[in-house]
């Protein structure tokens, strides 16, 4: 099982290292990173979000205990991090993105393949749902809170109007909503269009990880500070512990689904918070380093967790 974790984590680390090396060798400069970020934010990630949501089967959500456990574990982690960070000298929008980092797992690129290795086909449906919750629900809530944060000094009605208009122009929120509508209406997707969306969406995670490497290569003189380590501890230890409490004690969840929820909650930080920082033009250092550090440390933490899961199956 240790090899399975290495297989899942190595591509993440290797893509970040590729971007870092391209910066150090002057193959890709700041303008390349900006172009890559724009591609991910406005094309690749929206295509991925639409693709995931348009293929969701609403019958797969017939596990309310699993639904509530994973959601409460995710938002509980982000909320507690935000509460603990209130007294620190961090701008509110940066604190919000850091809170997202503390709960945003690498569900698609690392989580789904890892769950398939550990659980087989029985783990596919719940792992896909955890990916949907992460890349769509957590993303959408964070965007809404970010827009409200930016307009906290405006009047209530004007602020609501501005938030709604900002959300309607945000591709990272519109894409999954359109995907939900497409799935609900059961509209057929022409094969060429499906392939087109899939090709663009598949580029999202690798391009985002390379962009993170480019960013780290330009700021490598800075080390992972206490804020980064706090994010990593919340993501790798607190979120899976809280999720385990919810699926094993609080709610009635089938065993396989419960174990998938715990494993998904223990994944390292995904690329979403980094892209959110780029979208709102905030300092992305904390999220970028949290992705790198948590990915490296997850080789140990997830290996231990997978060994325990193997005994439970």
Q: Which residue has the higher pLDDT, 280 or 69?
A: 69
What is the pLDDT at residue 245?
96
Q: What is the CATH number of the domain that holds 282?
A: 1.20.1530
Q: How confident is the model at residue 243 (pLDDT cuts 50, 70, 90)?
A: very high
| Token couple for 223 | 């080390």
> Average of pLDDT values for 138-160?
71
Cα 142 to its chain centre, rounded Å, is: 11
DSSP SS3 for 271: coil
What is the pLDDT at residue 90?
81
- Confirm if 259 and 309 have CB atoms less than 8 A apart: yes
- The number of domains in the chain is 1
User: Does residue 156 register a pLDDT over 60?
Assistant: no
In a domain, 33, yes or no: no
> Average of pLDDT values for 264-281?
86
In a domain, 291, yes or no: yes
In a domain, 20, yes or no: yes
- pTM exceeds 0.85: no
- Got the DSSP string for 78-121? HHHHHHHGGGSS--HHHHHHHHHHTT-B-IIIIIHHHHHHHHGG
- Confirm if 239 and 266 have CB atoms less than 8 A apart: yes
In a domain, 175, yes or no: yes
| Token couple for 283 | 């300092």
Closest CA to 75 of 149, 140, 148, 172: 140
Q: Domain range for residue 294? A: 2-24+57-312
In a domain, 34, yes or no: no
Q: Which of 150-154, 173-177, 209-213 has the lowest mean pLDDT?
A: 150-154
In a domain, 35, yes or no: no
User: Does residue 153 register a pLDDT over 60?
Assistant: no
In a domain, 87, yes or no: yes
Q: What kind and span of H or E run contains 109? A: none
Radius of gyration of the chain (CA): 19
Q: Which of 74-88, 103-117, 149-163, 266-280 has the lowest mean pLDDT?
A: 149-163
Q: How confident is the model at residue 101 (pLDDT cuts 50, 70, 90)?
A: very high
In a domain, 122, yes or no: yes
Q: Each residue of 5-39: pLDDT tens digit? A: 676 667 777 888 898 899 888 888 778 877 887 88
Q: What is the 3-state secondary structure (H, E, C) of 145-164?
A: HHHHHHCCCCCHHHHHHHHH
Q: Which residues of 283-302 are buried (b: 16+ CB within 10 A; e: fewer)?
A: ebbbbbbbbbbbbebbbebb
Q: Which of 52-56, 208-212, 232-236, 294-298 has the lowest mean pLDDT?
A: 52-56
State the average pLDDT for the chain.
82
């Amino acid at each position: 099982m240790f090899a399975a974790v290495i297989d899942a984590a190595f591509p993440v680390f290797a893509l970040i290292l590729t971007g870092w090396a391209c910066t150090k060798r002057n193959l890709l400069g700041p303008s390349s990173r900006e172009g890559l970020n724009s591609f991910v934010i406005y094309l690749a990630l929206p295509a991925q979000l639409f693709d995931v949501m348009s293929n969701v089967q609403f019958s797969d959500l017939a596990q309310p205990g699993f639904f509530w456990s994973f959601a409460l574990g995710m938002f509980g982690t982000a909320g507690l991090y935000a509460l603990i960070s209130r007294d620190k000298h961090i701008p509110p929008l940066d604190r919000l993105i850091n809170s997202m980092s503390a709960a945003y797992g690498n569900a698609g690129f690392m989580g789904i393949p890892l769950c398939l290795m550990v659980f087989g086909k029985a783990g596919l449906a719940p792992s896909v749902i955890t990916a949907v919750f992460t890349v769509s629900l957590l993303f959408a809530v964070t965007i809404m809170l970010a827009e409200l944060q930016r307009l906290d000094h405006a009047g209530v009605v004007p602020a609501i109007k501005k938030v709604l208009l900002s959300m309607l122009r945000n591709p990272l929120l519109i894409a999954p909503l359109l995907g939900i509508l497409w799935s609900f209406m059961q509209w057929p997707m022409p094969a060429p269009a499906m392939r087109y969306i899939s090709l663009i969406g598949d580029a999202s995670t690798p391009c985002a990880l390379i962009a993170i490497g480019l960013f780290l290569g330009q700021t490598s003189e800075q080390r992972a500070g206490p804020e980064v380590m706090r994010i990593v501890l919340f993501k790798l230890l607190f979120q899976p512990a809280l999720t385990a409490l919810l699926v094993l004690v609080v709610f009635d969840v089938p065993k396989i689904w419960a174990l998938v929820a715990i494993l998904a909650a223990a994944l390292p930080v995904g690329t979403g918070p980094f892209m959110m920082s780029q979208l709102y033009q905030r300092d992305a250092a904390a999220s970028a380093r949290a992705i790198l550090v948590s990915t490296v440390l997850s080789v140990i933490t997830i290996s231990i967790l997978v060994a325990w899961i193997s005994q439970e199956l």
